[in-house]
Amino acid sequence: MSPADNDQSEAELLKALLAERDLPCPVCGYNLRAIASTNCPECGATLDLRVGSTDLKLGPWVVSLLALSLSLGCVALYTIITGIPILLSPYARDSPGIFTWFAITLTFGVGCTLLLWRLIRTRKKFWAKPRKAQCRSAVLYALLPSAILVSPVVIRLLSRMF
Ligand SMILES: [Zn+2]
């Protein structure tokens, strides 16, 4: 079967599927029942056949993605807050604490970037996990931005203790 024959049979399958079903256009929501071509009559979008799954729930993965993005945002903010005095103030450069802070925020930044990269690369493994395991991972990721936000306070308290 040539690619052109394949396209022709897919178009016929699509029209047969829509002949007696009320299904909305994924772009504009127009009811596609009994359409004559493989384009939406309302918005002109090209339509094709796909396999979906009711088991694919993206909520926990999206929460994880947002949590890691927020963490990266916090880290970027801390990097700017510590980086600007290092660049501009000779007094700040004499303080060893500010370099420690800069190193800590950079480490957080690299860690968050690696986690984000891994979450995106292994998304299909994440989606295939049982729902409870997905939610557990999402909760752990969601704790990360708050952990990063309170880290300056914790580190300051620890540095006073020792
Ligand atoms: Zn449409």
User: 38 C-alpha vs ligand 1 centroid, how far in Å?
Assistant: 11
User: 7 C-alpha vs ligand 1 centroid, how far in Å?
Assistant: 20
Q: Are residues 45 and 63 in the same domain?
A: no
Q: Are residues 14 and 80 in the same domain?
A: no
In the predicted model, is pLDDT for residue 28 greater than 70?
Answer: yes
User: 30 C-alpha vs ligand 1 centroid, how far in Å?
Assistant: 5
Number of domains in the chain: 2
User: How much is the mean pLDDT over the chain?
Assistant: 89
Residue 62: what pLDDT?
97
Classify residue 48 as left (phi > 0), alpha (psi -120 to 50) or beta.
beta
Q: Are residues 93 and 64 in the same domain?
A: yes
Q: Given pLDDT bands bounded at 50, 70 and 90, which one contains residue 1? A: low
User: 104 C-alpha vs ligand 1 centroid, how far in Å?
Assistant: 50
User: 24 C-alpha vs ligand 1 centroid, how far in Å?
Assistant: 8
Q: Are residues 132 and 111 in the same domain?
A: yes
Q: Are residues 1 and 78 in the same domain?
A: no
Q: Are residues 34 and 63 in the same domain?
A: no
User: 138 C-alpha vs ligand 1 centroid, how far in Å?
Assistant: 34
146 is in which domain, residue-wise? 59-161
Residue 70: what pLDDT?
93
User: 46 C-alpha vs ligand 1 centroid, how far in Å?
Assistant: 9
Max Cα distance, the chain (Å): 77
User: 155 C-alpha vs ligand 1 centroid, how far in Å?
Assistant: 55
Contact 121, 68 (CB under 8 A): no
User: 78 C-alpha vs ligand 1 centroid, how far in Å?
Assistant: 45
Q: What is the mean pLDDT of residues 117-126?
A: 96
Q: Are residues 33 and 65 in the same domain?
A: no
Q: Are residues 142 and 112 in the same domain?
A: yes
**Model pLDDT for residues 46-101, shown as the tens digit of each residue:** 999 999 898 898 999 999 999 999 999 988 888 888 788 777 877 776 777 777 77
Closest CA to 112 of 66, 62, 81: 66
Sorted by sequence, the CB contacts under 8 Å of residue 102 that are 6+ apart come out as 79, 82, 83, 86
In the predicted model, is pLDDT for residue 108 greater than 70?
Answer: yes
How far apart CA 10 and CA 6 sit, in angstroms, is: 6
Q: Are residues 64 and 45 in the same domain?
A: no
User: 37 C-alpha vs ligand 1 centroid, how far in Å?
Assistant: 12
In the predicted model, is pLDDT for residue 5 greater than 80?
Answer: no
Q: Are residues 118 and 39 in the same domain?
A: no
Q: What is the mean pLDDT of residues 141-146?
A: 89
The percentage of residues in the chain with a pLDDT greater than 70, rounded to a whole number, is 96
Q: Are residues 66 and 107 in the same domain?
A: yes
Q: Are residues 87 and 25 in the same domain?
A: no
Residue 101: what pLDDT?
78
